[in-house]
Structure 1
């Protein structure tokens, strides 16, 4: 499908791919925001710091990073994996697992629109 889009759109294909990746990432980010535990303490919560990065590339494969930013990222692993005094309350992997089919369908739909 990507080859057909690249042939049809040329340089515009990269913009379409990047847009689909970022919007798909936002679906994962929203799921993380909805499932992360929030304390009653008055500070920046992990939920309010979950971000989608710009499109990155590794060995030709494009991706976006999704998760807590630098301000709260150090705390996220405590929730995801637990500590010796606190059980795990994972939100990253469960959100990914629950939403991966939805994101795949969304991205395929966005790419199909370009072929029409």
Structure 2
């Protein structure tokens, strides 16, 4: 396809830019979903005490809205406000509990899958 004029060139560049932006948004959303699912999978479940009336922490994972600033795309992934503050204790440890570092494990374990998803979503 030959470009015959400046207006056609600008139109093609604008079309390409919109297509690439749409792909970048999709890749970011898909990557956040992959990480959220891995986080749910590796989040520990309370084993001691009477927790029969508590929902597991994994049920409180969430992702935020897509953020775009200066051409960067991102989404926060973590836990909701109701239970999010609790995640710190088993993850970082306490005086009575060794740190489990499950958030870091989820990040490391999902990295390859997220990158593969990005590559798939961003193919031209």
* TM-score by shorter chain over 0.5: yes
Paired position in structure 1 for 2:78: 67
Kept in 2, the 8 Å contact 1:33–1:47? The answer is yes
Runs of 4+ in 1 over 6 A off after TM superposition: none
Q: CA deviation at 1:50?
A: 0.6
Tell me if the contact between 2:27 and 2:118 (Cα under 8 Å) persists in the aligned partners: yes
Q: 2:97 aligns with which of 79, 83, 86?
A: 86
In 2, the alpha carbon distance for the partners of 1:12 and 1:44 equals 41
Q: Which residue of structure 2 lines up, in the alignment, with residue 35 of structure 1?
A: 42
- Conservation of the 8 A alpha-carbon contact between 2:20 and 2:122: no
Q: TM-score by structure 2 length?
A: 0.77
1:10 to partner: Cα distance = 3.1
Over alpha carbons, which structure has the higher Rg?
2
1:14 aligns with 2:21: yes
TM-score (norm 1): 0.81
Contact 1:22 1:52 in 2 (8 A): no
Q: Distance in 1 between matches of 2:83 and 2:72?
A: 28
Which consecutive residues of structure 1, in runs of 5 or more, have no partner in the other structure?
1-5
Number of aligned residues? 108
CA RMSD of aligned residues (A): 1.9
